[in-house]
Amino acid sequence: MIRNSSILNRKTTALLVIDIQEKILPVIRNTEQFLGNSKKLIEACKVMKVPIYLTEQYPKGLGSTTNFLTPYLSDAIKLEKSTFSCFGAPGLFNALKETGITQLILTGIESHVCVQQTALDLIANGFSVSLAADACSSRKEIDYNIALSRMRHHGVDISTTEAIIFELLEKSGTEEFKQVSKLVK
């Protein structure tokens, strides 16, 4: 039996956490929900041994990743960037290709700037992209909504944190399922 190629496969998937930095958060909509879902994705990926990449946009000016998430990101591969797209994070796209990653899960801010440009660049470079719509945000609702619509139009799978986690799990009854199902309750 053949599974749909858009279903995430943890052997070829990585999580990309985009610019969830302390100084940006005060102006972001739905911060509590967005951060909570980002944390769930990070924790679930850690349990399932899905690689995690983390970017920070100009950390000298925008600060580092929020303290809310840093305890869960100790094993993440961290990259600084000055471009809005993660395409400009030194060596990121090449590293993904070299390690056999073909599918990316995105979480981060802002949806209409760094997340959107990254998603579009990933698609242009042959990656499959799943965006956790409830684990990204922007300052303005219209920017968020238009970004999701534009990304969907260009081939990004728009999904939710919980749907993504269960795609990666694939089945129940495992020790991983027991650990991860506690995260989504």
Query: 8 near 161, Cβ under 8 Å?
Result: no
Q: Which of 40, 45, 86, 114 is catalytic?
A: 114
Task: Give the burial class of 172: count Cβ atoms within 10 A of its Cβ; 0-12 exposed, 13-18 middle, 19 or more buried.
Answer: exposed
Active-site residue flag, 81? yes
pLDDT score for 168: 94
Instruction: Provide the pLDDT for residue 38.
Output: 97
Q: What is the pLDDT of residue 61?
A: 86
Please list the rounded mean pLDDT of every run of 10 residues in the chain (185 residues). Answer: 89 97 93 96 96 93 92 94 92 92 97 97 96 97 98 98 94 87 83
Per the confidence metrics, is the pTM higher than 0.85? yes
Out of 3.40.640.10, 3.40.50.850, 3.30.1330.10, 2.170.150.20, the CATH code matching 13-184 is: 3.40.50.850
- The distance from CA 5 to its chain's CA centroid, rounded to whole angstroms, is 19
Residue 106 near residue 130, CB atoms below 8 Å: yes
Q: How is the chain split into domains, by residue range?
A: 13-184
Active site residue 45: no
19 is catalytic: yes
Q: Which of 45, 46, 81, 86 is catalytic?
A: 81
Q: What are residue 80's DSSP bridge partners?
A: 56
Query: What span, in angstroms and rounded, lies between the C-alpha atoms of 184 and 28?
Result: 23
For the CA atoms of 55, 61, 62, 68, the dihedral, rounded to the nearest 10 degrees, stands at: 90
